[in-house]
Amino acid sequence: MATRVVLAAAVLWAATFSYLAIARHDAFESNAFDLGYVTQTLWNTVHGEPFVFTTVDGVPFSPEGTLDVSHLRRPHSLLAFHVEPILLLVAPIFAVWPDPRLLLVLQAIALAAGGVGAAALAGRRLGTSAAFAFGLAYLLSPSIAAPALSDFHGVSLAPALIFLALCFFDAERPRLGFGAAILAAATREDTAILIASLGAYLFVRHLIAERRPGALERAVDSVGRQLPQLNRQVPGPAPTSDPLDRAGRPGLWLLLVAGAWALLAFGAIIPFFNGTISMLVRHEPGIGSVFWHRYAWLGPTPVAALIGAVVDPGRWIDWLLRPDVLAYLATLLLSAGVAALAAPGTLAIALPIVLENTFSSFDWMRSGGAHYSVILVPVLLFAGMEGTRSSVRTTIGAGSRRPSVKDPAFGSRQLITAALLAILLIGALANHLWLGASPLAPGYDWPTPGPRQNAVEAILATIPPDVSVSATSAVYPHLASRARAYWFPALNGADVVALDVASSTSPIGPTEVRSRVSGLLAGGEYRLAASAPGFLLLRRAAPGQPAESLADLPNRFYDFARAPAGALAAADRGPKVTFGGQVHLDGYRLADESTQTVFGPSGSLTTYWHADGPEPASLSFRFYLTRRPDGAIVGALRDQAPEPVWYPPDRWKPGEEIQMTLSLPRVRDLQAVGVAIVDATTGSLLPIQAAPGAALWENGTIVRIARLDGGG
């Protein structure tokens, strides 16, 4: 019954997150990295070019740290970055429906299936009530919800496979368990390390059981002889009956095969494709891993980092005591329940990946969000199961026998188990409410594609699948099912350039995008083919066609900068503020973004403006952030909102309501947001005339828009 309830919950979970992931994609919130490049990799794999993608071909920026893509030996190969052979199994499914939405649905189903796997394993090892608790705890984990709403990653297919492997081992079907574990290792190179660690655990567990049969029971029996009141509850010595104790041989094979695969991936495949091996042959410094810069604070190479950790342990100890690191470790513990601490040997399986995430300088890896902790969840819950069994045995002396209602200790066992499972579920729910990106979390903002996005999709549908494209980050996944797709501003002679300036253009900002588009039109190489609010489609110009300019853009394009009807009425109004006598700040709206992390939620600020008449083109808007608790200005965001960059004040019509939207990272660390208007010709800030009650900073040159810390 419990498994059926979890199965129903998993189906609901898969349906909900499939919908949310697709809605997020349709709202142009997915990205070139990672949904875009995975989609294109699968498309090329289906068409005979395994692991080929052109996403980073010619990009004038680093897609990872300080990496110069031109230094890569094979920048067109995914294998220069990651080793994910599981994609070869996904490719035939993708061939049926070559659309990124398929990947989002497949990922949601695979993640949900892990909940059924958790329930099945817990039911086998602990009973019906545990199946219900561990299955729901899995589905509530933020580390499971986050990857479902963070594009697509092959590693998200691993949790269900890990649970499947453990279930097979527990059912004494080692070959099937070995196969499922190896499939999990194929999801990404670091998952192979986790699977090798699982193999080592099973092998060592077998050795301990073989060399010390009945050790736990004899210890309890000794205690029972000293405490007569417990003596009647102590079973006699008996050899272990736990199937996992007899999984030593497949465990050893897992250790050897997965370990060898991890060494091959890190030591040969990635270095070959990124050029490290050929560079070393030429006696040049190799690139190594393109991700090592995340650990460069520990040392320039892995060996140097290990030596430094021994020579200067205080450095990494201080790192472990950082509040964000402690918060990350806390969210992992909440995923497993406190009972996991009673199974330190099982928890040790997760240690390599926990260290990989914890010591990374890339915040997302230890944020509790995205996909970086997804493979830890099955191991942590497995540790929770083993810790629950261990706690019951140690406290009551249950031994290895199957619990029976005739056993005098049966009631006590049930009580302790129920208490531990209740703690598990309470912790899982608290964890979900703290970090979960789901409709259950307070303030969750459902992604809602609107008319603008629908208009853009209609234009994209007119692009033939056989033409090459260059696209901004948010558009790229929608056009990635083709042989040649590039990440704007890389062009590489693309036939079509698709630019959604109102969505993410990462890693370049609105000003650079506008400058490059102006150059493309003025140079006569491309002409405007279609437009929608905030979107431009350019096609290669035919010989002899006249050049165009930004002045030729249709008026409809600028609608994304114009506030929709009723928006100002729903906004918060502060004291009247006027800049330079003619530009008026009318109101603002603060909104939380969907994804939460241990660093606190992010948010967005939309401000509303109007002018008495067209203003000089030289005016620009500069937003300022102050920190808690001292109110010091810690950042000036220049030209971060795309609306005034593309639709500057010199184009505003009298009385026209303009909106500007700004992303606010880590709102928890911020106290307030202010704004100033700069005259670029003189470098001076426009004078501010404000009604009583307005807060002015820096000698009255900046006005505070909103407090973020709840203050007045």
Tell me, yes or no, whether 121 and 165 share the same domain: yes
State the pTM of this model: 0.91
In the prediction, which pLDDT does 444 show? 79
Tell me, yes or no, whether 551 and 590 share the same domain: no
**Rounded average pLDDT over 316-323:** 95
In the prediction, which pLDDT does 394 show? 74
- pLDDT confidence of 5, banded at 50, 70, 90? very high
CATH number at residue 687: 2.70.50
In the prediction, which pLDDT does 439 show? 83
Tell me, yes or no, whether 421 and 282 share the same domain: yes
- 8-state DSSP, 467: S
Percent of the residues in the chain that have a pLDDT greater than 70, as a whole number: 93
In the prediction, which pLDDT does 392 show? 83
Tell me, yes or no, whether 420 and 455 share the same domain: no
Percent of the residues in the chain that have a pLDDT greater than 90, as a whole number: 71
Find where tokens 């949900």 sit: 112
- Indicate whether 429 belongs to any domain: yes
In the prediction, which pLDDT does 91 show? 98
- Indicate whether 446 belongs to any domain: no
Rounded to 5 degrees, φ, ψ at 272 are: -70, -45
In this predicted structure, the answer to whether residue 475 has a pLDDT above a threshold of 60 is: yes
Highest mean pLDDT among 408-422, 430-444, 462-476 belongs to: 462-476
Tell me, yes or no, whether 583 and 545 share the same domain: no
**Rounded average pLDDT over 233-240:** 45
Tell me, yes or no, whether 260 and 353 share the same domain: yes
Residue range(s) defining the domain that contains residue 612: 577-707
Tell me, yes or no, whether 324 and 220 share the same domain: yes
- Indicate whether 54 belongs to any domain: no
Domain C-terminal end among 505, 529, 561: 561
In this predicted structure, the answer to whether residue 237 has a pLDDT above a threshold of 60 is: no
Length of the chain: 712
Per-residue pLDDT tens for 260-313? Answer: 999 999 999 999 998 888 888 887 777 778 888 899 999 988 889 999 999 999
Domain C-terminal end among 435, 468, 492: 435
- Indicate whether 311 belongs to any domain: yes
- Indicate whether 568 belongs to any domain: no
Angle at 432 between CA 430 and CA 437, to 5 degrees: 150
Determine if residue 167 is left, alpha or beta; phi over 0 gives left, psi from -120 to 50 gives alpha, anything else beta.
alpha
C-alpha pair distances (Å), 185 with each of 195, 579, 593: 6, 60, 33
Number of domains in the chain: 3
Tell me, yes or no, whether 424 and 463 share the same domain: no
C-alpha pair distances (Å), 480 with each of 54, 434, 467: 10, 35, 11
- Indicate whether 35 belongs to any domain: no
In the prediction, which pLDDT does 340 show? 94
CB 663 within 8 A of CB 640: yes
In the prediction, which pLDDT does 238 show? 46
In the prediction, which pLDDT does 224 show? 43
In the prediction, which pLDDT does 404 show? 53
- pLDDT confidence of 240, banded at 50, 70, 90? low
Tell me, yes or no, whether 604 and 553 share the same domain: no
In the prediction, which pLDDT does 410 show? 59
CB 596 within 8 A of CB 437: yes
In the prediction, which pLDDT does 63 show? 80
Tell me, yes or no, whether 494 and 643 share the same domain: no
In this predicted structure, the answer to whether residue 234 has a pLDDT above a threshold of 80 is: no
Q: Which parts of 472-574 fold into alpha helices (H)?
A: 510-522
In this predicted structure, the answer to whether residue 251 has a pLDDT above a threshold of 90 is: yes
- pLDDT confidence of 614, banded at 50, 70, 90? confident
Residue 356 CA, chain-centre distance (Å), reads: 15
Give the strand order in the sheet containing 526-532.
485-487, 469-471, 496-500, 535-540, 526-532
Tell me, yes or no, whether 407 and 465 share the same domain: no
Strands 702-707 and 670-679: antiparallel
In this predicted structure, the answer to whether residue 403 has a pLDDT above a threshold of 80 is: no
In the prediction, which pLDDT does 407 show? 56
Tell me, yes or no, whether 476 and 334 share the same domain: no
**Rounded average pLDDT over 379-390:** 95
- pLDDT confidence of 233, banded at 50, 70, 90? very low
- Indicate whether 567 belongs to any domain: no
Per-residue pLDDT tens for 177-194? Answer: 999 999 999 999 999 999
Task: State the average pLDDT for the chain.
Answer: 90
CA contacts within 13 A on the Cβ side of 284: 9
In this predicted structure, the answer to whether residue 415 has a pLDDT above a threshold of 80 is: yes
In the prediction, which pLDDT does 216 show? 40
In the prediction, which pLDDT does 157 show? 98
Lowest mean pLDDT among 17-31, 59-73, 610-624, 655-669: 59-73
In this predicted structure, the answer to whether residue 69 has a pLDDT above a threshold of 90 is: no
- Indicate whether 569 belongs to any domain: no
Q: Which parts of 321-435 fold into alpha helices (H)?
A: 323-336, 344-347, 351-358, 376-396, 410-435
In this predicted structure, the answer to whether residue 406 has a pLDDT above a threshold of 60 is: no
Domain C-terminal end among 526, 561, 596: 561
In this predicted structure, the answer to whether residue 397 has a pLDDT above a threshold of 60 is: no
**Rounded average pLDDT over 644-657:** 91
